[in-house]
Amino acid sequence: MKDYDAIVIGAGNAGLSAAATLQRGGMRTLLLERHNIPGGCATSFVRGDYEFEVALHQLSGLGTEDQPAILRHVFDSMGISDKVDYVEEHHLYRYAVPGVIDITLPASVKGIIAVLSEAFPAEADKLKPFLDLCEVLTLEAYLAYPRAKATGDPEVIKKNCRNFVKYGLRNAKDVLDEFFDDPVLKAVLGGYWGYMGLPLKELPFSDLGVMLYAYAAMKPWHVVGGSQALSNALLDSFLEAGGDVRFNCGAEQITTDNGAVAAVRTEHGEIFTTNQVVSNASSILTYNQLLDRPELAGDVREDFKSRRMGVSGFVLYLGLDCTPKDLGIEVATNFVANTIDDEAQHAEALTLDGAPKGCLFTCYTVGDETLAPKGKSVVALMCLQYGSAWDNVKPEDYAATKFAYAEKLIDLAETVIPSVRDHIEEIEVATPMTMMRYLNTPGGAIYGFSQGIAEHGTVRDRVRPVHGLHLAGSWSGMGGFQPTYQAGASVGGSILCKQNKKAG
Amino acid sequence: MTLKDIRSVIDGFDATRAQMENLAETGQDFANEGARVQTRVASLHPKRLALTVSDLVEETATTRTLRLTGDAGTLPPFLAGQYVNLFVTVDGVETARPFAISSAPQERGHYDLTVRKIAGGFVSPWLVEGLQVGAKVSSSGPMGSFYVNPIHHGDDLVFLAGGSGVAPAISMIRDIAARRLPVKFHLIYGSRQTDDVIFQRELSELDAACDFLTLTQVISEPNDAFQGRTGFIDAALISEVCGEMANKTVYLCGPPAMNAACAKELKDVGVTNKRLHIEANGPPVDPTARGGWPSGVAAHQNVTVTVNGKGSFETTAGEPLLNALEKAGYQVENACRSGECSLCRIKILSGDVFNPSEAKLRQSDRRFGWVHSCVAYATSDVEILL
Ligand SMILES: Cc1cc2nc3c(=O)[nH]c(=O)nc-3n(C[C@H](O)[C@H](O)[C@H](O)COP(=O)(O)OP(=O)(O)OC[C@H]3O[C@@H](n4cnc5c(N)ncnc54)[C@H](O)[C@@H]3O)c2cc1C
Ligand code: FES
């Protein structure tokens, strides 16, 4: 008998979800995490009186209690529904470019149409058709297309997924251009590009459209206690079901026998036998480093060559000694930029020489005051940045470089939200190197590989060269919270399914 | 592709596949990325540093500076004020203690740790009396957020130091001098007796040489010949030597009693939380005196700790769980040993545990029973998950 029915490497969102699903499904599962806490990106840390959310800005896919959406069902199936509390956000975002626009989109399709019709009357009649398209695209991408594809008949795809066929792989800029003229309106509607890390012309429209519609219809959510609360709840559910977990215990090798998974060796030298491994570590690390015979990875390594490294982030975690109201903000999610040009903003992510042109100011205490001591606020101020921007920064210059860039980021935020600096009580600066340290990802990437059209799941073929080795997480699908929870649950589910077939 | 892919009906599918093939021509298989990640992380934040004691300097009768040289050459950079956690084996017990680095950050060949012997201590007496030149030790990488932060600390800095709490202060002073930073730095340094003053000569020299530095020394148990300031650091003294405090940033590092007393005095002279940075101090000296400690439980009361699946042992309620675990031969990762860094996080499966205010617990860790073992006390028999 094997030591475990399954071993999960990494306790990020996908690893936790896979582990909880497997153990609750009756497979004896070992979860290995190199860090001392579950969550990966989905974590928090405490400084002084403040607890800082590391990564979650807005949780998507939950839906309301009355109208639950997919993620609520997934969480139900993993047994965490009564372990977590959520706070609904009533706005998608504020989009502010001084001298150009300052507008807030409410969290409803109707509300968005009303607000934008008033601000852009000349284009009012195109808003509904546009948002309708986002809606049907969501349904087609997630429901109709997978079914149609399974039939193997191209005509069925054409017939049942008309919008997906036409718009699914087009770039977001193109589609916005097709509908609208006003560049400011297009920039406002494209505001979420930053959540995917690529400018509109490189993003598949289906991803942007789905995101916009999903947040509007299913609402953006905060989690009480932050995403760490979700991570802790998933782990709790896993432990309650009898799972074994080891922290401070990285996996060092996946041992194979005849091209199939046989065991996992930890950094402490222990060896655990198993036939099933789910790796939540990056695919790069899994196939190039962990696998005992990297040559087994064959096709995967070919696939790597057509991939590009994804983006990381530069984040200031701020504890402010004032309320959101004192700062003049009413909305948690604030995109602040000095240009509506997303390509110019993205270009700054590649270098430390200039200054950020766009950023995201998320104030978690809007809507949930319990996150900070009374009268105070917790903020994450973030801009996109690639790990490569830090390649030539020497260790001895690291601190000075990060502080200097932090100053520029605060300067940008202050063009819309004045006197942030004066209110700082606690501050922690995280760079792509910080992400790299805590996630063990190449380039400190936070969504896995770049999320461009050529990386889209629709155009990629699934390669799984090693029997019993499964990947789950941002490196083998879409990055972000909702996708990675779902990926873990689905990988766990399909392993269970096969196992049960064998047994039955 | 031999057969036409059914996905070709999607607009842009064929073009995107062609683009993928182009990308593959110029791309890479990332074979070296894993090693790059490791090297990069180790150069900034190594998990462990292998060190050799290359020199020992007597500072006072009870204090000495350990010079630790990196076995792998240049040591990782740090910010003046940060600490390393020093791993040692004392009386067969594998344990560790955090110490601020007293050398300048510009010095990359070694870290100096200035250690004062605490009467009745477990590790400090051994470091001050037992450690020999040539000994091998290991430490964590530099850590902690007690440093001069250029973003919001401003340029008018005051440091209140007591005893070996002068260690991070002298590193800051050396750093400011080396980088010629445009700040003012006022060190108010309290010692018990004149013989206890650490770095006396260097401080006087720096005071004379550096315009940015003001030095105020205070002795609490002076001998008859002593002519300088005497007593404790209090509101009156702070106001007298510093003037208006509202716009100054204050760092405070001394023994626990001094930190508590000075924090109060500083509030009285108008220093807000925002402008006050207090270095962590280790577990509370007397946890039973803290609010929330269960009545009827004495510090010396015996309790049994069961480690899930790994046996059990006896300890006392007043002993931090981390120390108890180490003495019983269990290993738990740790660094600050003061409740802040969360590395020593363990889960309480059953039983009662007291978490003092030092424990900077996440909201959801509290909810699911995770504690910081370095400052957690078993006040009944407990079962834990390591
Ligand atoms: C600052 C920031 C902001 C973000 N903002 C958003 C946002 O607003 N919305 C959104 O949807 N997404 C956001 N993300 C991205 C999102 O958090 C991630 O895409 C997602 O959490 C990735 O989940 P994952 O399952 O792939 O695992 P990861 O979080 O990458 O976790 C992988 C885990 O595996 C562990 N591991 C790695 N190697 C080993 C090994 N050899 N042995 C054992 N363990 C190992 C790691 O320690 C880690 O815990 C953000 C991320 C960051 C950092
Ligand atoms: S060792 Fe840092 S919190 Fe316990």
Looking at beta carbons, which residues of chain B come within 8 Å of A395? Answer: 43-44, 76-77
Predicted confidence (pLDDT) at residue B83 exceeds the cutoff of 80: yes
Q: What is the predicted pLDDT for the residue at B27?
A: 93
Please tell me the distance in Å from B363's CA to the nearest CA on chain A: 6
Query: Residue A426 has what DSSP assignment?
Result: E
Confidence class for position A367, pLDDT limits 50, 70, 90? confident
Q: Reduce the DSSP state of residue A171 to 3 states and report it.
A: strand
What span, in angstroms and rounded, lies between the C-alpha atoms of A468 and A504?
19
Predicted confidence (pLDDT) at residue A278 exceeds the cutoff of 90: yes
What span, in angstroms and rounded, lies between the C-alpha atoms of A268 and A288?
20
What span, in angstroms and rounded, lies between the C-alpha atoms of A469 and B100?
45
Predicted confidence (pLDDT) at residue B2 exceeds the cutoff of 80: no
Give yes or no for residue A280 CB within 6 A of ligand 1.
yes
A157 to B7: CB separation less than 8 angstroms, yes or no: yes
Q: Per-residue pLDDT averaged across A239-250, rounded? A: 97
Distance from residue A436's CA to the centre of ligand 2 (Å): 22
CB contact at 8 A, A123 and A181: yes
Distance from residue B99's CA to the centre of ligand 2 (Å): 14
Distance from residue A59's CA to the centre of ligand 1 (Å): 14
Q: What is the predicted pLDDT for the residue at B120?
A: 86
Looking at beta carbons, which residues of chain B come within 8 Å of A37? Answer: 342, 345
Please tell me the distance in Å from A504's CA to the nearest CA on chain B: 33
B364 to A407: CB separation less than 8 angstroms, yes or no: no
B6 to A153: CB separation less than 8 angstroms, yes or no: yes
Report the residue count for chain A.
504
Q: Per-residue pLDDT averaged across A430-444, rounded? A: 95
Confidence class for position B179, pLDDT limits 50, 70, 90? very high
Confidence class for position B1, pLDDT limits 50, 70, 90? very low
A396 to B362: CB separation less than 8 angstroms, yes or no: no
User: Judging by beta carbons within 10 Å of its beta carbon (0-12, 13-18, 19+), is residue B24 exposed, middle or buried?
Assistant: middle
A304 to B28: CB separation less than 8 angstroms, yes or no: yes
The 3-state secondary structure of B260-329 reads HHHHHHHHHCCCCHHHEEECCCCCCCCHHHCCCCCCCCCCCCEEEEEECCCCEEEEECCCCHHHHHHHCC
What angle separates helix A124-139 from helix A109-119, to the nearest 10 degrees?
150
What span, in angstroms and rounded, lies between the C-alpha atoms of A141 and A121?
31
- What are the E-state strand segments in A153-241? 221-223
B361 to A284: CB separation less than 8 angstroms, yes or no: no
Which residues numbered 210-269 in B keep a CB inside 8 Å of some CB on A?
none
Predicted confidence (pLDDT) at residue A161 exceeds the cutoff of 60: yes
Which atom of ligand 1 is closest in space to residue A382's alpha carbon? 1
Give yes or no for residue A13 CB within 6 A of ligand 1.
yes
**Tens digit of each residue's pLDDT (9 = 90 or more) over A52-88:** 999 999 999 999 999 999 999 999 999 999 999 999 9
With tokens 């706070």, the residue in question is A87
Q: For domain A6-85+225-307+463-503, give the fold.
A: FAD/NAD(P)-binding domain (3.50.50)
- CATH architecture observed for domain B151-279: 3-Layer(aba) Sandwich (3.40)
CATH class for the domain made up of B287-385: alpha beta
A403 to B150: CB separation less than 8 angstroms, yes or no: yes
What angle separates helix A172-179 from helix A124-139, to the nearest 10 degrees?
140
User: Judging by beta carbons within 10 Å of its beta carbon (0-12, 13-18, 19+), is residue B74 exposed, middle or buried?
Assistant: exposed
Confidence class for position B3, pLDDT limits 50, 70, 90? low
Looking at beta carbons, which residues of chain B come within 8 Å of A458? Answer: 7, 10, 13
Residue among B333, B364, B383, B384 with most chain A CBs within 10 A, to mutate: B364
Q: What is the predicted pLDDT for the residue at B230?
A: 95
Which residues numbered 356-375 in A keep a CB inside 8 Å of some CB on B?
370
Q: Reduce the DSSP state of residue A266 to 3 states and report it.
A: strand
What span, in angstroms and rounded, lies between the C-alpha atoms of B8 and B12?
8
What's the token pair of residue A318? Answer: 């701020």
Please state which of the ranges B28-32, B140-144, B187-191 shows the lowest mean pLDDT: B28-32
Q: What is the predicted pLDDT for the residue at A368?
A: 83
Contacts of A186 (CB under 8 A, 6+ apart): A173, A176, A177, A180
**Alpha carbon distances (Å) from B164 to A179, B61, B101, B191:** 69, 13, 11, 9
What span, in angstroms and rounded, lies between the C-alpha atoms of A472 and A474?
7
Question: Virtual CA dihedral for B271, B275, B276, B280, nearest 10 degrees?
Answer: 170
Q: Per-residue pLDDT averaged across A322-350, rounded? A: 97
Q: Reduce the DSSP state of residue B377 to 3 states and report it.
A: strand
Distance from residue A42's CA to the centre of ligand 1 (Å): 6
Contact A37/B at CB under 8 A: yes
What span, in angstroms and rounded, lies between the C-alpha atoms of B343 and A248?
9
Contact B2/A at CB under 8 A: no
What's the token pair of residue A130? Answer: 């546009």
- Name the residue facing B368 among A149, A232, A453 (closest C-beta): A232
Residue type present at position B317: A
What span, in angstroms and rounded, lies between the C-alpha atoms of A45 and A226?
10
B40 to A285: CB separation less than 8 angstroms, yes or no: no
Domains of chain B, by residue range, sit at: 6-44, 49-139, 151-279, 287-385
Residue type present at position A320: L
Contact A70/B at CB under 8 A: no
Across the beta sheet with B382-385, the strand order is B312-316, B302-307, B382-385, B345-350, B370-372
Q: Which ligand is closest to the CA of A278, given by its number?
A: 1
Please tell me the distance in Å from B320's CA to the nearest CA on chain A: 19
Distance from residue B339's CA to the centre of ligand 2 (Å): 5
A437 to B10: CB separation less than 8 angstroms, yes or no: no
Give yes or no for residue A446 CB within 6 A of ligand 1.
yes
Residue type present at position B166: V
B41 to A437: CB separation less than 8 angstroms, yes or no: yes
Distance from residue B343's CA to the centre of ligand 2 (Å): 5
Closest CA to B62 of B120, B132, B102, B137: B120
CB contact at 8 A, A218 and A4: no
Distance from residue A416's CA to the centre of ligand 1 (Å): 30
Counted across chains A and B, CB pairs separated by less than 8 A come out at: 180
**Alpha carbon distances (Å) from B111 to A330, B94, B101, B138, B169:** 48, 22, 6, 12, 15
Vertex B169: Cα angle to B166 and B172 (nearest 5): 155
Mean pLDDT of chain B: 95
Give yes or no for residue B97 CB within 6 A of ligand 2.
no
B16 to A168: CB separation less than 8 angstroms, yes or no: no
A396 to B23: CB separation less than 8 angstroms, yes or no: no
Q: What is the predicted pLDDT for the residue at A483?
A: 95
Looking at beta carbons, which residues of chain A come within 8 Å of B145? Answer: 47, 428
Which atom of ligand 1 is closest in space to residue A12's alpha carbon? 31
Vertex A417: Cα angle to A415 and A421 (nearest 5): 90
CB contact at 8 A, B279 and B187: no
Helix or strand (DSSP H, E) at A125: helix A124-139
**Tens digit of each residue's pLDDT (9 = 90 or more) over A375-406:** 999 999 999 999 999 999 999 999 999 999 99
Residue type present at position A368: D
Q: Per-residue pLDDT averaged across B310-321, rounded? A: 97
**Alpha carbon distances (Å) from A44 to A224, A417, B143:** 12, 24, 18
- The answer to whether the B151-279 and B287-385 domains have the same CATH topology is no
Predicted confidence (pLDDT) at residue A40 exceeds the cutoff of 80: yes
Which residues numbered 24-53 in B keep a CB inside 8 Å of some CB on A?
24-25, 27-31, 33-34, 36-37, 40-41, 43-45
User: Judging by beta carbons within 10 Å of its beta carbon (0-12, 13-18, 19+), is residue A251 exposed, middle or buried?
Assistant: buried
Between B281 and B132, the more confident residue is B132
Give yes or no for residue A195 CB within 6 A of ligand 1.
yes
Looking at beta carbons, which residues of chain B come within 8 Å of A166? Answer: 11
Which atom of ligand 1 is closest in space to residue A487's alpha carbon? 25
What span, in angstroms and rounded, lies between the C-alpha atoms of B148 and B249?
9
Confidence class for position A299, pLDDT limits 50, 70, 90? confident
Q: Per-residue pLDDT averaged across B171-200, rounded? A: 96
pTM for the model: 0.96
- CATH architecture observed for domain A311-442: Alpha-Beta Complex (3.90)
Q: Would you report the helix, strand and coil content of chain A in percent, each value rounded to 5?
A: 45, 20, 35
Contact B372/A at CB under 8 A: no
CATH 3.50.50.60 in chain A, residue ranges: 6-85+225-307+463-503
A306 to B9: CB separation less than 8 angstroms, yes or no: no
Give yes or no for residue B359 CB within 6 A of ligand 2.
no
Query: Residue B219 has what DSSP assignment?
Result: E
Which residues numbered 291-350 in B keep a CB inside 8 Å of some CB on A?
333, 340, 342-343, 345
What's the token pair of residue A267? Answer: 């950094």
Closest CA to A378 of A316, A440, A439: A316
Superfamily holding B49-139: Translation factors (2.40.30.10)
